[in-house]
Amino acid sequence: MCGIVGYIGRRNATEVLVDGLRRLEYRGYDSAGVAVMSDGELIIKRSVGKLENLEKLLNGDMPVGHIGIGHTRWATHGRPSEANAHPHRAGDIVVVHNGIIENHAELRKALIKKGHEFSSETDTEIVAHLIHQFTEQGHSTKDAIVRSLAKIRGSYSLVIMNVKDPDTLYLAKLGSPLVVGLGNKENFVASDIPALLPYTRKMVFMEDGEIAKMTADGLVVRDKDLHLVKKEVKTITWDPLTAEKGGFKHFMLKEIFEQPKILEDTYGGRVAPGTGKVILKELDPLFKDGKFIYDHIYIVACGTSWHAACVGKYWLERICRIPVSVDLASEFRYRDPIINKNTLFIPISQSGETADTLAALKMAKEQGAKTLAICNVIESSIARLSDIVVYTHAGPEIGVASTKAFTAQLTVLLLIALAFGRKLKKIDASDVEKRVAELLELPGQMKKMLDNAGVIKAIAEKYADSREVLYIARGVHFPVALEGALKLKEISYVYSEGFAAGELKHGPIALIDNGTPVIALTPNGYTYDKIMNNVEEVSARGADLILLTDEGNKSDSVKAAATIYIPKTSWYTSPILYALPLQLFAYYVADHKGTDVDQPRNLAKSVTVE
Ligand code: F6R
């Protein structure tokens, strides 16, 4: 949440900052601002609302300078307003911040007592005042920052500029992400990789507790004890074009359509057709003499990633016969879960920065669990903190509603389940071979469904004005129904809820009235007859049915208002295919209603505060 960016070098800093903010806008979009040193003068421009408002403000009045910082905000302390927009200034000190200063109230009180005057309601302004107070006392900018950070409780990534030191940016990180991009006589810093991709592939990832001094020619990083740290420079292989819309109306639509390729990228190199093997060497340390060292798996995540985790439980338990618990990170961390050295803890996160998932991971590590992350963003905090990482190769996901990351997470979970199952000899090589063959068919099947997206568009437009939409499913498809409902509510603001169909009679069926839209996932398999009974029950009570079912199925007894046919595959791969029409349905409803699909109200990608 909140995107920060900084630049120092030969280009016009304002242009680089605004471009970076555009690529970070998915992190927050209720106000934005830049601060640039121009002809020895500090110019700050801020505006409420989307970045385009800031761009309008800068149009014809753009400060030109070689150093600056910028911010796009998701409000935590203080409503969205120009005064609360970053950068914040106190004397010569200017700051942009992502995170939360938890002891802001007491610090503010103490500073006010000393005569500091505040111009915003934010926690961030306190940081500027603290640093200013120490520079006024004669401390160097670096020392003033160190002294200020010692007083702060909470999480932050900070980029700081001192007007009196106009060739340097100071950086600090604790709990929120910060990436430095190294250029030729220019350097960049941002919350996330996509902001830097057009400029450089050489990146340095700041660790918690580190502070840094960045000039156009260099980067000096120190750890929490102020010892110099030699940082590894990583080369990022993401293609900058994957962070562009590429002719699509929205990032979300583009990302939905990218899925056939993403699946290939995610299983590519990890399956060896004809051998009955899944190649995930990363998993080897989890086995000793062919035996799995752990007696319990915990999968913890938030939102869409949690839905992937729920599907993973069905696969892992059925294929590997290992007990699996799934938990929401925000619940897990405040319970007293039973974790020990015999636990394998799997955090799932697209961004790798979600505050609750990160905190749950830290907690599991402290209690001795072995940790295996499923992450999309390379070198993210969750990836770096985990003992083992299996990356989903979904590329940058910009649309706030997760789509391609979800199906990539499912693909990785299935691969892990197959790899574990084979190692534990719970599944034959020939069965693995069948599952792999089905996986390899998915991209083609998805392409076929995407070619027919118009059918789903027409259905979505018919239901776009619905007050609510209910989703029902059973078994491994139940979490997919939950995910479909989440997609719809978050981008179209239509109330939607997913139910385990077997639970309907325990309460939810009371919601069904004449014309209530119900989307039913009815794939073939051992729950088919059961879900069809539930479909009949809601139909008998007046539901307006949209049936998702396998190609070739005839559900004559049920009067569906619309039927969407899904290419035939097995129980294992079917959830990946069933997710796709639900994503399209949500997208087309939202687009028809004219909501801001890529930046839905109140939301932000990468929830770095709890
Ligand atoms: C919904 C969505 C969110 C995220 C959740 C976790 O479309 O994107 O629910 O799935 O915030 O984010 P990550 O996976 O980055 O930890």
- Report pLDDT digits (tens) over 18-63: 999 999 988 888 999 999 999 999 999 999 999 999 999 999 889 9
The pLDDT of residue 27 is 86
Contact, 480 vs 311, CB < 8 A? yes
pLDDT given at position 461: 97
Strands 468-473 and 388-391: unpaired
Residue 199 has pLDDT above 80, yes or no: yes
The pLDDT value given to residue 556? 64
What's the CA-to-centroid distance between 563 and ligand 1, angstroms? 29
Rounded to 10°, the helix 574-593/478-492 angle is 20
Residue 509 confidence (pLDDT): 95
Q: Are the C-beta atoms of 415 and 308 separated by less than 8 Å?
A: no
Q: In whole angstroms, what is the distance from residue 573 CA to residue 521 CA?
A: 14
d(CA 279, CA 319) in angstroms, rounded, equals 17
Between the CA of 150 and the centroid of ligand 1 the distance, in Å, is: 32
- Among 190-199, 242-251, 516-525, 531-540, which stretch is predicted with the lowest mean pLDDT? 242-251
Is pLDDT of 1 > 80? no
Q: How many CB atoms lie within 10 A of CB 503?
A: 14
Check pLDDT > 80 for residue 554: no
The finding on whether 303 has its CB within 6 A of some atom of ligand 1 is yes
User: Is 349 close to ligand 1, i.e. is its CB under 6 Å away?
Assistant: yes
Q: Whose CA is nearest to atom 3 of ligand 1?
A: 303
Q: CA 129 to CA 133: how far, in whole Å?
A: 6
State how far the Cα of 427 lies from the Cα of 73, in Å rounded to an integer: 49
- Please give the pLDDT value at position 318: 97
Q: How far apart are CA 547 and CA 576, in angstroms?
A: 17
Q: What number is the average pLDDT over the span 259-284?
A: 93
Residue 307 Cα: closest atom of ligand 1? 10
Helical pair 478-492 and 303-320, crossing angle rounded to 10 deg:
170
- Region 194-207 average pLDDT: 95
pLDDT digits (tens, 9 = 90+) for 69-86: 999 998 888 888 999 999
357 Cβ closer than 6 Å to some ligand 1 atom: yes
- Say if ligand 1 is within 6 A of residue 380 CB: no
Work out the mean pLDDT of the chain and round it to a whole number: 95
Catalytic residue among 2, 302, 320, 375: 2
Ligand 1: residue of 302, 349, 380, 488 to mutate (most ligand atoms within 8 A of CB) is: 302
Whether 605 is a known active-site residue: answer: yes
Query: What atom of ligand 1 comes closest to residue 304's alpha carbon?
Result: 10
The Cα–Cα gap between 400 and 245 comes to 14
Q: In terms of Cα–Cα distance, which of 408, 431, 437 is closest to 319? A: 431
Distance 303 CA to ligand 1 centre (A): 5
- Omega of the bond leading into 87 within 30 degrees of 0 (cis): yes
Nearest atom in ligand 1 to the alpha carbon of residue 401 is: 7
Tell me the C-alpha distance between 188 and 181, whole Å: 5
Of the candidates 99, 103, 217, the one whose C-alpha atom is nearest the C-alpha of residue 153 is 103
Predicted confidence (pLDDT) at residue 545 exceeds the cutoff of 80: yes
Which pLDDT score, from 0 to 100, does residue 369 have? Answer: 98
Q: Is 320 a catalytic residue?
A: no
Whether 496 is in the pocket of ligand 1, judged by its Cβ within 6 Å, is no
List the residue whose alpha carbon is closest to atom 10 of ligand 1: 304
Q: Which helix (H) or strand (E) holds 235?
A: strand 234-235
Task: State the chain's maximal CA–CA distance in angstroms.
Answer: 83
Nearest-Å Rg of the Cα atoms of the chain is: 25
* One-letter amino acid of 304: T
Q: What does the DSSP assignment read for 518-559?
A: EEEEE-SSTTHHHHHHHHHHHHHTT-EEEEEEETT---TTS-
SS3 of 4-29: EEEEECCCCHHHHHHHHHHHHHHHCC
Q: What's the pTM value of the predicted model, to 2 decimals?
A: 0.89
Ligand 1 within 6 A of 177 CB?
Answer: no
Buried b (16+ CB within 10 A) or exposed e, 455-489: bbbebbebbbebeebbbbbbbbbbbbbbbbbbbbb
In terms of DSSP bridges, do strands 41-48 and 67-73 run parallel, antiparallel, or are they unpaired?
unpaired
Number of neighbours of residue 416 by Cβ within 10 angstroms: 26
The verdict on the CB of residue 392 being under 6 Å from ligand 1 is no
What string of DSSP letters covers 245-309?
A: -TT-SSHHHHHHHTHHHHHHHHHTTTEETTTTEE--GGGGGGEETTEE--SEEEEEE-HHHHHHH
Q: Is the pLDDT of residue 555 over 70?
A: no
CB-CB neighbours of 233 under 10 Å: 12
DSSP label at residue 175: B
Q: What pLDDT score does 531 carry?
A: 95
The predicted pLDDT at position 76 comes to: 82
Do 257 and 450 form a contact (C-beta atoms < 8 A)?
A: yes
Torsion of CA 566, 571, 572, 578, to 10 degrees: 30
Q: Which domains does the chain have, with CATH numbers?
A: 3-244 (3.60.20.10), 254-448 (3.40.50.10490), 452-593 (3.40.50.10490)
Tens of pLDDT, residue by residue over 95-115, are 999 999 999 999 999 999 999
Region 219-224: mean pLDDT is 97
Q: What is the pLDDT, as a whole number, of residue 245?
A: 87
